[in-house]
Amino acid sequence: MDELKQLADALMERAKRAGLGIVTAESCTAGLMCQVLADAEGASTFFHGGFVTYTKQHKSRALGVPETLLREKGAVCADVARAMAEGALEHSKAGIAAAITGVAGPEPDEDGNPVGRVCIAVARRGFPVRDLERNYPDVGRDTIRESAVADALKAMTEALASVSAAA
Amino acid sequence: MDELKQLADALMERAKRAGLGIVTAESCTAGLMCQVLADAEGASTFFHGGFVTYTKQHKSRALGVPETLLREKGAVCADVARAMAEGALEHSKAGIAAAITGVAGPEPDEDGNPVGRVCIAVARRGFPVRDLERNYPDVGRDTIRESAVADALKAMTEALASVSAAA
């Protein structure tokens, strides 16, 4: 958890410099990214909050992820991660969003995705959405969740870094 | 955390029997209630998800809490907790919602609410919203958060119990 704290502090510092609020959309990590961000320095100003969308229905209802997409591709794919990140931006006033959808285990999901498969997306207003897929080893729910949150925090930090460099 | 796990399991069992999905709205607990609920047996069906609304702006944007209410009464009061719970129901297809807004510390909030003050509300479709206020001792952020989540889980379980008894 110390690594997550450091990653969150680094991200928050970058968000402060960019003057951009952060929002999250989480499925398999179920709020862990929110927990970590809320404990970072500057959270009360730059961490707006997050959407925990555990079921497909709630991904659609709270974030506007298309039901047809969820039905056809399942909940764990790049397109759903991207739609979750875009939905989080749309339903907040934050400037950057990260989404995580995956299988923390102990069982594969209903669509047959294996334990450890996780899709992450980062959306920043005015920039193309980025996504990445990870297949973590099946070493337990908590470790998979922590790895996914670490990668999402790093992806947001990188997205802000390249923005600053371009500005 | 063991107590929270037991409370979450008991609530989920009751939700299953009532056939009702659960949604949350969290401020100072920042997703802890989601974390606990996602680990309960039956979560993948009966735990829809939650809204983590850390800033006033996000309470208003994601849950529809009136800006005037937040401006006039601050974020930690029964009316805001009630509006958060009602907003969570409105933005989900769940049948019951619990909201938590309070001050986990280490500092009082910007409106002068002391560390440990927490307002909780439970909303169930077709029933009056219930709320309660707690003033926990200032024994650290984590303990205050765990106490608040425990009380919110108990309040939801009670709301489902009285519903079943009345049915």
With the CA atoms of B53, B54, B60 and B62 taken in that order, what torsion angle do they form, in degrees rounded to the nearest 10? -30
What pLDDT score was predicted for residue A165?
A: 47
Orientation angle between helical segments A2-18 and A141-166, nearest 10 degrees: 20
Chain A positions in Cβ-Cβ contact with residue B35 (cut-off 8 Å)? 30-32, 35
What global pTM score does this model have?
0.96
Chain A positions in Cβ-Cβ contact with residue B39 (cut-off 8 Å)? 30, 141
Residue A67: which residues within 8 A CB-CB, separation 6 or more? A56, A60
Question: A-contacting residues of B 106-165, CB under 8 Å?
Answer: 141
- The reply to whether residue A49 touches residue B34, judged by beta carbons under 8 angstroms, is no
Given A24, A47, A93, which is nearest B61 (Cβ)? A93
Q: Chain B residue with minimal CA distance to A50?
A: B52
Give how far A149 is from chain B: nearest CA, Å: 13
Three-class DSSP category at A89: helix
What pLDDT score was predicted for residue A43?
A: 95
Given A23, A35, A48, which is nearest B31 (Cβ)? A35
Mean pLDDT, chain B, integer: 95
pLDDT in tens, A9-65: 999 999 999 999 999 999 999 999 999 999 999 999 999 999 999 999 999 999 999
Mean pLDDT, chain A, integer: 95
How far is residue A78's CA from residue A167's CA, in Å, rounded to a whole number? 28
Parallel, antiparallel or unpaired: strands A96-102 and B96-102: unpaired
Domain extents in chain B: 2-166
Instruction: Tell me the CATH class for B2-166.
Output: alpha beta
What pLDDT score was predicted for residue B166?
A: 45
Indicate whether this complex's ipTM tops 0.85. yes
Chain A positions in Cβ-Cβ contact with residue B21 (cut-off 8 Å)? 55
pLDDT in tens, A59-116: 999 999 999 999 999 999 999 999 999 999 999 999 999 999 999 999 999 999 999 9
Top-confidence residue, B165 or B152: B152
* Mutation site for A-interface testing, chosen from B54, B61, B89, B110 by largest number of A Cβ within 10 Å: B54
